[in-house]
Amino acid sequence: MSTVGSAGEGGQQVLDVPPHYFPGACFVCKATPPAGGSLSRCANCRMIKYCSKEHQKMDWPVHKTICKKLRNDDGSSVLADGAGIIDSAAWLRHRASPDAGTAPDARPRAATAREGDALLPARVRGCTPSKDADRHERWCEQLRLALACDRYEALNGLADPPILPDVDETFQDLPEDIVSMLSSQILAEKESVPEGAYVDPVLIAFLTERLSFPLTVLYALLKAPGERPVGERESLTVHVVGAQMLVECLGIIKWEYLVHRLPRLRAIRLVFVGPELFRGCGDDMAGAVEDSGATRCADCSRRQRSVVHELRPVTYHEYCRGQHWTRPDAVVAFNSGIHEFAERDEDTWRESLPFLVRHERVPLILTAYTRTELRKDLEELEKAVPSLNVLLPAAKNPFGSTKPVRDMCREDDCDVFFLNQFVTVLEGDGTGDASPCR
């Protein structure tokens, strides 16, 4: 990927990305129509658009599973009766109803992730006058960036931005936010930077999506250092709870960015724990991945720093009661959606919640996509653990991702959300402290 100027087409891409639906863009490549032009629409469902016959043919093997269910016997769209809905909540209820996207003679079923992406998001009318023009003006820039990011991955596969290689020789306080931090580091790598040069916003979006995870941990530990200031630590163990390989472990070398910010650190152990850890990856990857040097940069290898990634596909309370448990210096749950599990028949969080804050002076870091989600997660945690100390009140996270994702629910009246957008740091009162934790 390009670092300065417009987004480039370089960089090794190895994973395909599920397509996202934009009403005004080709479903395959996310191309928008030229001035005065238009995209072709699927003649049957009249919902999905393409820039060419080639892309329509390419998408048909998957699209056909939903296409025929979007058309009534008289040829009209199943969703047409929602055409007059303006209120986003009403639109979501309409599209999420059992009959939406289901032909009259078909048995209702849950939509797949691909189908839901097309069926559920509130409509985006584009940059034209409309009854919702004021709202669209608020979110236009973020929606354009979301489309640009999706277009890049539609053409190149999963973005794999290079992790910045600079290593701090002395401990530095964090700057104001993640964008200013990464932009200054990117520009500093250039031998010469022309006046007016800028950092490609698509690159910044992808970089912040990756580095938000280690930087949020560093930010939280600076605000709530636990037993010892993080800048003075020579070793660090972090439990990442509710982890998934394709989220917290994706581009796992990103965690070395945390090591690069802590000059005194000699060893770090990252324990990724969660029953859905290998969802979509197969189950043959379990176990501790001892540091072999394969995931370390040249500088970390030269300094003989130890980097251990440990993968445990179990619930957190099972891990804490098992033989592989190690005492953490911090526990973190990224975008966990604890409150959503409380509504399920099988709540995999309930029994684990007390273990998150089991140790005195071991901070628990919680992040969420929205302020409302974080509030609901805290409510569930407080039910399980009434005596919590708040070290960092829930607030906007300056080191959250800046890559926008369209929010089908428009929670908190927002058209987009971001990974790790809100953060809080807590700790228990030590009454449940035990070592070992079983």
- The DSSP result for 293-324, as a single string, is STTS-HHHHHTT-EEEEEEE-S-HHHHHHSTT
Quote the domain boundaries for residue 26.
15-83
Confidence of residue 197 (pLDDT cuts 50, 70, 90): low
In this structure, are 79 and 195 located in the same domain?
Answer: no
Task: Report yes or no on 98 lying in a domain.
Answer: no
> Which one of 68, 83, 98 terminates a domain?
83
Q: What is the pLDDT of residue 2?
A: 41
Confidence of residue 225 (pLDDT cuts 50, 70, 90): confident
Total of domains in the chain: 2
Q: What is the pLDDT of residue 102?
A: 46
Give me the CATH number covering residue 333: 3.40.50
Confidence of residue 280 (pLDDT cuts 50, 70, 90): low
Task: Report yes or no on 273 lying in a domain.
Answer: yes
In this structure, are 66 and 190 located in the same domain?
Answer: no
Residue 197 or 352, more confident: 352
Confidence of residue 379 (pLDDT cuts 50, 70, 90): very high
In this structure, are 78 and 193 located in the same domain?
Answer: no
Task: Report yes or no on 272 lying in a domain.
Answer: yes
Q: Does the pLDDT value for residue 8 go beyond 60? A: no
* Distance (Å, whole) CA 289 – CA 271: 10
With a CB cutoff of 8 Å and minimum separation 6, the contacts of 420 are: 212, 213, 216, 334, 335, 367, 368, 397, 399, 400, 401
* Mean predicted confidence (pLDDT) in 201-219: 95
Residue 143 or 238, more confident: 238
In this structure, are 363 and 215 located in the same domain?
Answer: yes
> Which one of 64, 83, 102 terminates a domain?
83
Q: Does the pLDDT value for residue 409 go beyond 80? A: no
In this structure, are 188 and 58 located in the same domain?
Answer: no
Task: Report yes or no on 107 lying in a domain.
Answer: no
- SS3 sequence of 216-279: HHHHHHHHCCCCCCHHHCCEEEEEEECCCCCCCCCCHHHHHHHHHCCCCCCEEEEEEECCCCCC
Least confident of 88-102, 192-206, 334-348: 88-102
Q: What is the pLDDT of residue 34?
A: 85
Helix (H) or strand (E) holding 367: strand 364-368
Q: What is the pLDDT of residue 6?
A: 33
Least confident of 336-340, 396-400, 428-432: 428-432
Residue 172 or 89, more confident: 172
Confidence of residue 190 (pLDDT cuts 50, 70, 90): low
Q: What is the pLDDT of residue 116?
A: 56
Tens digits of per-residue pLDDT, 120-140?
554 544 455 455 677 777 888
In this structure, are 203 and 321 located in the same domain?
Answer: yes
Tens digits of per-residue pLDDT, 12-52?
434 567 777 888 899 999 999 988 888 998 888 878 899 99
Confidence of residue 97 (pLDDT cuts 50, 70, 90): low
Per cent of the chain over pLDDT 90 is 43
Q: In what order do the strands lie in the sheet with 267-273?
A: 287-289, 306-312, 267-273, 235-241, 330-333, 364-368, 422-428, 388-396
Averaged pLDDT of the chain: 80
Q: Does the pLDDT value for residue 292 go beyond 60? A: no
Q: What is the pLDDT of residue 242?
A: 96
* Mean predicted confidence (pLDDT) in 229-254: 93
Task: Report yes or no on 3 lying in a domain.
Answer: no
Q: What is the pLDDT of residue 125?
A: 45
* Mean predicted confidence (pLDDT) in 295-305: 82
Task: Report yes or no on 120 lying in a domain.
Answer: no
Least confident of 88-97, 142-151, 332-341, 368-377: 88-97
The three-class DSSP label of residue 288 is strand
Tens digits of per-residue pLDDT, 334-371?
999 999 888 777 888 999 999 999 888 899 999 999 99
Q: What is the pLDDT of residue 260?
A: 94
Q: Does the pLDDT value for residue 4 go beyond 50? A: no
Confidence of residue 1 (pLDDT cuts 50, 70, 90): low
In this structure, are 411 and 300 located in the same domain?
Answer: yes
* Distance (Å, whole) CA 119 – CA 135: 21
